[in-house]
Amino acid sequence: MGMKEDIKELAGKLGMSMCGVSGMDRFATSPQGKHPREVLPGCKSVIAVGVRLLDGTIQANFRAFEDGRDDLKGLYGTYGYAMLPNFELTYVCYSIARYIEEKTDEAAAPCSTGPMTNGAQISLRHAAVAAGLGEFGWLGIVLTPKYGPRNRFGVVLTTLELEPDPMYGGKPLCVPEKCGICARVCPSGALSKYEDGGPKRVEMGGKVSEYCQLDWAKCFMVEEAMRKEYGGREDYLTTDEPTMKDIFEASMRMPHSDAGLQRVESWHCGKCLSYCPTGDWAKRFSGRGLSRGAAAAGR
């Protein structure tokens, strides 16, 4: 086997659900500071790996949203969002980078993998799409054919030149004008509806992707429970239309949890990811009694 096949085999042995490779041409429109070669000079290949989220983890969100079990939100925070998937991806990206450097004379740089790690060097979502693992859904999260939005991704940059994989070219995984569940279930209306204004557009490898205009301040307000109605201890925010300055100031007023490694006791949302129907929804969730469906989420 060649190095590309060896890398994919290693990723599989280390527990990854998917692995793909992109060349540099697909990052031509990257914003300043986010191009792979601004992180690793001479980068020739971007390797993206992905791990699926456990059905049992996502169903904990359903228990919270549908049965009022707010105490279970921490399961999603630990095993679906902030901690375990990102730690696993961090380890795998480090192992792949080590493998490349030990087997070749090329450099390899593993990137940070989300909450609980340091910063964001390039967009993991865009790298996953560029590497052919899936496409953007309206909610702005990468959808994969098998798991829908229930994935997390990691990235390794390398000066090793590998043959790129084709970008996803199957049937559309998201048809927002016919669905819109993600925008409907969002507690704060952070995700724009398909008919409300233009989408965000990004071009990679000759393919244009469109997804919602996300109001990050409204998203953070719910995710970190900055009001009682979203599971918070106090109303650290009093406005329905916060700015990022408001979010920062509220964050400074909030006590940091001493109950675990996370800054807050749990991550309080994930509704858009949980209720997106892409990825064999009926069989894996509704059909097995794990959820009563998006209607149970309200809004």
Which sequence spans correspond to the domains of the chain? Answer: 3-284
For residue 259, the model assigns a pLDDT of 64
d(CA 124, CA 143): 13
| Mean pLDDT computed over 120-146 | 95
CA trace torsion 48, 51, 52, 57 (10° rounding): -140
Please report the pLDDT score of residue 17 as a whole number: 97
Percentage of the chain modeled with pLDDT above 90:
72
Q: How far apart are CA 40 and CA 18, in angstroms?
A: 23
- CB-based contact 297:271 (threshold 8 Å): yes
Average pLDDT in the 147-154 region? 96
**C-beta neighbour count of 154 within 10 angstroms:** 31
Bigger pLDDT: 102 vs 282? 102
* Non-local CB neighbours of 52 within 8 Å, separated by 6+ positions: 17, 146, 147, 150, 151
pLDDT digits (tens, 9 = 90+) for 89-103: 999 999 999 999 999
